[in-house]
Structures are given as structure tokens and as C-alpha cells.
Structure 1
């Protein structure tokens, strides 16, 4: 698909942290965007039409995808610890919901899909940075459910009825992140005086790849602009390509805010010491770059968002 072609795109999960950013990125690229929501508009940008449907309701989804050219599928469950407690729900929503959406798209003859997946599917590879040719070793039910959804999408693409791009996202951060369990909101909550201390498992040397929410969103716009022909399936890593430790995050947040950030060390958890992306395939084939993902900007934007009341 040429870069300058405008298409009508349905974004599932448009109320979400990433979904609302993807809506804005697609609009900035000149696309006509429709948001799919479960009940009602909350974070969907004003001026964007919304359609309501449950992800497990194929009939409602079929009505929702009418008249669109492509779908960005972001709706789903995403919390690792919760997936251990209720794995059946994660498979029901993340896999069953994807199957229902693909059935709806097939019925409506919508043949283009970009899917939000997770780099956690790789598990703990020794090779760093992590490229797309690594084997899958999903370590928890959430990752397994996303891997299964990818497999369903690949199988549907193989029938010739679908052109699909899967984006395996690393750690999205920055902006108005509503998830208080993620590391950047937790650090900023301590800096703002809303939390007494930051609990860290281990010594704080674990290194992760943080990609700014805006860069993650533009990856979806880039994927829409470079969708393959029906019958083809492509997968890309979306990360900054840089690693930052928890200790480095804390030190930079303290420098930016001028606040002391109390840290409470807990016993080390069984987790990888380093997870960093190789996103060169996305750079090369999608013409996408992580241009705003330095950790200073991520923290600064997260702090600025703290002062903005949520959209209601």
C-alpha cells in the first residue's frame, strides 16, 4: 500500500492507553479512523466516531467492521500476574476475541489487519538484542494467549483472505499511562509524593527496552502504510533498541523532578537480566523509527501527564 493512500481504519481498544494514541497517529497520517469500544467513549479523541461491540460478539463485530478498509486490533487483556490467576479468561478474550474479529472481518470482506502483540513471547533469550528470528518461549499465560492469537492470524492469512502485520511491542511508557503497576508510573508516583517508596525486586540492575507511547503508535500507522498483499503475514519488533536499568530510571527521575525517590528492595524475582529489541526489520521494511524514546523524554512526558485530569 503506498504511503500516501488514505484508508478507513477501525481501531479496537480505542479507549485504551495505546489505542487512543494509535487513533491520533492514524489521523495524523490522514486516515479516516473509527474507534471500537466496549461500552462508551472514555479516552477516544473527540471528533472520532465510535462503534460499540463486545470482542466476543461476532454478530456485533460484523456490524462494527462494515465499511472499513483495515483493522488495528489492540483490544485485549494485558496483565501478566492476572493471567496466572485467571488464564481461561485470557485465552477467552485474547484468542477467542481475535477469532471472533477475524470471522467478522471475513463476513464483511475486510482483508487488512495490524495486530498488537508482545515481545514477552520470546521469553528469556540469551541473544541480545532480540530479533524476530528467535524461537518463541512464552513464559506466562498472557504471552501464550498472544502467541496463540498470532498463530490464528497467520493461519487466516495463509488462506489468502487476509493481509496481516503483527507488531511485537516492548515496554510502552510515557504520557498518560493509566496502569499503576508499571515501573514509570510507580517511580513518578513516589516523586510526586503519592507513594512512600518504590518496591524493587532485586538490586535494580535489570535492563529493559522502553518505547515511547507515541513511537509505538506511529508503528501502527507505518504498518497500515506498508501492509502486504492478502495471503501474506509479517511480524516486527517495536522497541527503542536501547536498554535502561531500574536504577537508571530512578536516578533520571530524581534528577528531572529534584525529588528524592525512596527505594525498597525486595528479594530478586526469577526474571531476565536484560531484554532489548532489535527493531531493524521495522526500520527497513516499515520505514519506522523510535524517534522519541529516550528515557528522559519518557519520564518528562509521564510527569507532565500527571497534572492533566483524565478524560471522562
Structure 2
């Protein structure tokens, strides 16, 4: 008996591989693994395990443990982002008798970076569409043939791809080294060089895409060759027309041979379209099985069984015998329904626990997995703490940039089994979000000399996050916006229905994040936008160099409080109150899905001069001399800038109300400053 492990068993590739194995006459035992218990592929296998997400620190160790204990002979990756990790660690698996079906780290990294792949092909005169880095394309904007496609360098399944129709539209996209621009090849029906017509809208026409599949043996021999012309919806093939003998099969062989020299082994899929001269232009190459691997098996192109023969028998002749073609059929994929016994779900093994764990369902006293981006920042850390104070059925996933951020947060909050960590950053490098119910998006760029950074992190970062959420099926986004989107042209108090008039790059970037979240471009059922006032108050990772904390620090040091714009009004909210509002929005049980906007402010704006007086009063309460207030208003008369938001809607619909008062809040900050020799965090 041969034991085959399949990771990401709930995804399209994992399910397709398991489907292909179910047709095999060989004596095969399957072990399915996924991070989400509600993954159908888990229940198609002989044994199933819950594993950490690929971004988790224990991911490889847990896979090694399962492979060793279950005596897995072949491990098949089911997710693109697993490929580079498994490629780097494949020798560790081999040492315990498990072969990972993945090529060398070099070929995996090359195929996942479409720009580097295009350079690789161009240097060898191989058929690949013209590809530019976004910033280079902007410099050539007037010379390109529009429309062009803008998409991530490392994306898959058309995630994040969009059409751009003119130079101005291209140059309006924020600069991003992780985005590329490719020539757009219009769909051309099988047997015709005439295009169906260039797209006139932003929606991609994903008809008539060519898909070429080969298998490369351990000895480097290229076997098989299955061509099909596919119709895709949202990057997923739904109609598959086999094209035996298509010229693209021959044209793609030099590409595969070049990749074999870089260490390509196992399955490889090339995707492209016909050019105007009838030749193939590839735009993506994936060194893995695909979502139609199981369907190809129905055509007798049994590539999974070929891999099993290759890795167990090392005989190219026997391996090639599985790569046949059954004519006279057309392939279609559809959504199917199934039910799974709850008892079986409860018995899925969780390798991170001592034994089987109970299934978590969102009913009544809900069990939720909430991800917080920017978790190691001032606001993010306090949001995480507030969520941890809630019911024990809530598990918090803190997204941090690196281990330093994790260590900092663990030290601040203490250890708890309800706090999990994920490494990643915006806009690129976000982890897989499968299994997450709600995302609290608190990460943002606030203070930066380069305005483009605001749009890269706050706008483009939000877009990539929404793409990840849609792909993973996340149900709710709580987007942390800012009062800055209102501008200062309308008299306060501002309500959520008032027009948006951002006046700064930061405000514009946050507003554009709102537009992306509230629009119809992404299938996230519940969107909650919180427009938050200026934060203050004792909490983790204080920002001592920013107003209002700066005044508290100066008061603690018995230094003058220098006031500019004394009659300007500001809306301040204690960080604990704001975090409570986020927790309420994250866990609220609304009547149904929808899009909601709430103002989260202090409810009572104050002038800068009044705020300085409160700081001076708080210093006296702490036993200090009253600091001098130095007014530095300019001589000319200026109209004061006034900030302030109405918060009645949040009170009514979230059941939330700010409870912290300004004077004791500032006194706490002064007391903290007196106790410490330096700032906790600038």
C-alpha cells in the first residue's frame, strides 16, 4: 500500500488530486490535511488532520510529524504559497522516507515571480508575453498597446488582475514593486486567429485560455502533454475543451526544457493565449497540479497516478503509460452539495492539541476566529487586548511583521492559548486567511515623508487584503478608517451621511480604502467601517512624540506646553473606548449581511487651548508644578479648524458609549511618564 498526503485538501487543487486518486485501481491510502475543519477534502480521505497555516512557525514541523507517524510516501502540495516552503524543506521529508512532489527552490521561486519568469524566457527567446514592472511600465505608458493587464507578481487564479485602458489610468496606480504589467491577449476561439474583441470594461474576459500540462520525471524526462481551451470564472476553469495536437504543445516544450534545467520536477502547467500571428503567448507557469487535474483523469490523463509510478517505480515507460487521452468528451465543472456527519468532523485530528477537538460552530454563543492586522501597534495591541477580554469562545490571530513584533506583543499581553500569531505585512506578504471569520484591519501608514507610502500601504494594502479575504471566504471586515476623511470644510458635528472631502494624502488613502471595502468588487458579506477620532490614553506602545501624548510628556517633565492654533478644535477618544467599539463591531450579531459606517469619537470636541489647560490641571493633580502654557498663534486672524463627529449611530446600533474622561486619562499618562525613564514606544 502507498500512502499519499495531500495538503490544503479543502482547496481546488487538493480536492482535484483526491478526486483523481479515488479513480485509481492502485492500493492507495490517503491522508488529507487542512487548516480549516470545514474543508470538504478532509472527509474524502482515509485519515484527516488539522494543521497550522503555512505562515505559522510550526507548519513544517507538524507536517513532518504527520508524515512520520502516518508513514506518508508522497506529499502533494495543494496550495501555491506552500510550494516555496516545501521546496526548501524537501530534504528533511526525504530523510524520513517521504517525497514531496515539488521542484527545486530555484524553479519554484522563478515560476512564482512572473516578472523574473518573463526575463528568464525573454533571455532564451521563449514564448512569454511582454511583462514590465509597474514603475517601468508607467515610464513607457505612451508606447504600450492598450488595454494592458496589471496584476501581482506572485498572484494566481487571476487574483488582483485588472485591465487598464490608457496611460493616465496606468499612471494613477500607486507605485508598487510587487505589481507587474503584461500585454493583454484578447480571446481567440479554437482554430481562429481572429479575436473576440478587446475588452471595453474592467472585467477580464477569461474565455479561450490555453492550458498545457506536462509531467517531468525524477530523471528529468518530459512526459505526456495535455492541451485544453478553457472558460474561466474568477480564475477557476468551468468549461474545458480538450485540444489534442494543438501547436501550443510543441511550442511549450522548449519552455519546460529550460525549467527542467533549473530543477523542475513533477507536474507543470502553462497558461496562455494565441497571439495575432497564431502562436502561443504564455503569461503564467505553475509547477504543480491544477484544479482540473481530477477532470483530466476522467480523460485518462492520469497525472497523479503517473507521479505515484514515477516516485515509487522510477520507470519512465510505466510512468508515461498513465498519460493517455480519451477522445469524444467535453469537460464541465460545477458546484456540488454534500453533507458531513458532525461526529466525523469532531474526530478530525488536530495535531496542535492533545487529541481530537470539538467542532466550532457560529451559533448562539459564537466561536469566532478574529484576525487583527497591525496588532503590534498602539491601536492594534489595545484592540487585541480588548478582544481577549471578551468571551473565551473568541480566538485572536495577531498579524505582525516579524518575530520581534510577536515577542513585543507577547510580553505586553502575556501568554494565552487564545492568542495566535501570523507573520505578514502589507501590501505583499499577507498570509492565507482560511479559517478566519472576521478581519479587523487596523494596520496603516500614518506618518510618512513620502505621500506614495500612504497609498501603497493604506489603499493597495486594503485591496490585497480584500482579495485574500474573498479567496478564503472571510465573512466580515472591520475597516479602521479615520475622521480625516471628512476634511474641515463642513461644520461639525459630522454624521456618517455627510459628504467625504479628504484634504491630505493620508485622508485620501483611507477614503480610497473605504471605497474599495464598501464597493461591489469583492465578495465579503459584511463590511463595517469605523471612522475613528484622534486616539489618546494609557495603553500598550504609547506614542509619546505625538499630540496629545506629547503634552502629557511635557507636563510630566515640567516643561512648557507650546500651543499652535489655540482655537482649533480636536475630537479625542481614549484608546480603550475606541478598542471597545472595535470589539463591539467585530462580534455584533446584526440582522443580516450588509455595509455599515460608524463614527467613533469622544462625543465632546475641545479646543487646543482647553486641552493644554486640562494637561496642566492633570499635572497639578499628580503633585507637579503647573506647566506654563505658551500660545504661539500667528498675528493674522485665521478661521479655526474644527473637528468633531456625531456618535449617536454607534451608540444605538453597537450598544457602545465612550466612558473615559479626558482629565483622568491625561493624568494616567502623566503618571505613567513619571514611572518610566523613557517612552515605551515612539
TM range (shorter): 0.7 to 0.9
Instruction: Tell me if 1:27 matches 2:388.
Output: yes
**1:297 Cα deviation from its structure 2 partner:** 2.3
Instruction: Tell me if 1:16 matches 2:399.
Output: no
Structure 1 partner of 2:479: 115
Q: Which has the higher contact order (CA 8 A, sep 6+)?
A: 1
Instruction: Report if aligned partners of 1:184, 1:302 keep a CA contact under 8 Å in 2.
Output: no
Instruction: Tell me if 1:51 matches 2:412.
Output: no
Give secondary structure in 2 for the equivalent of 1:240.
coil
Give secondary structure in 2 for the equivalent of 1:234.
strand
Structure 2 partner of 1:287: 655
Instruction: Tell me if 1:78 matches 2:446.
Output: yes
1:120-269 equivalent positions in 2, closer than 5 A: 120-156=484-520, 160-176=523-539, 178-193=542-557, 196-202=559-565, 204-226=566-588, 228=590, 232-258=594-620, 259-268=625-634
Structure 1 residues 298-307 or 176-185, which shifts more?
A: 176-185
- TM-score, normalised via structure 2 length: 0.42
Structure 1 residues 219-228 or 99-108, which shifts more?
A: 219-228
User: How many residues were matched structurally?
Assistant: 300
Give secondary structure in 2 for the equivalent of 1:183.
coil
Instruction: Report if aligned partners of 2:440, 2:479 keep a CA contact under 8 Å in 1.
Output: yes
Instruction: Report if aligned partners of 1:241, 1:278 keep a CA contact under 8 Å in 2.
Output: yes
**1:141 Cα deviation from its structure 2 partner:** 0.3
Instruction: Report if aligned partners of 2:619, 2:627 keep a CA contact under 8 Å in 1.
Output: no
Taking the aligned partners of 1:228 and 1:200, their CA distance within structure 2 comes to: 44
Taking the aligned partners of 2:572 and 2:367, their CA distance within structure 1 comes to: 30
Provide structure 2 residue ranges, at least 5 long, that are not aligned to the other structure: 1-361
1:67-106 equivalent positions in 2, closer than 5 A: 67-79=435-447, 82=448, 85-106=449-470
Give secondary structure in 2 for the equivalent of 1:128.
coil
Instruction: Report if aligned partners of 2:422, 2:431 keep a CA contact under 8 Å in 1.
Output: no
Larger helix proportion of the pair = 1
Taking the aligned partners of 1:2 and 1:275, their CA distance within structure 2 comes to: 41
Instruction: Report if aligned partners of 1:168, 1:236 keep a CA contact under 8 Å in 2.
Output: yes
Provide structure 1 residue ranges, at least 5 long, that are not aligned to the other structure: none
Please tell me the root mean square deviation across aligned C-alpha atoms, in Å: 2.4
Taking a change above 3 Å as real, the CA distance of residues 154 and 263 of structure 1, as seen in their structure-2 partners, is same
Instruction: Report if aligned partners of 1:165, 1:227 keep a CA contact under 8 Å in 2.
Output: no
**1:168 Cα deviation from its structure 2 partner:** 0.1
Post-superposition CA distance 1:40-60 (Å, at most 9, x none): 322352222211102122xx4
Give secondary structure in 2 for the equivalent of 1:275.
coil
**1:231 Cα deviation from its structure 2 partner:** 5.5
Taking a change above 3 Å as real, the CA distance of residues 120 and 272 of structure 1, as seen in their structure-2 partners, is farther
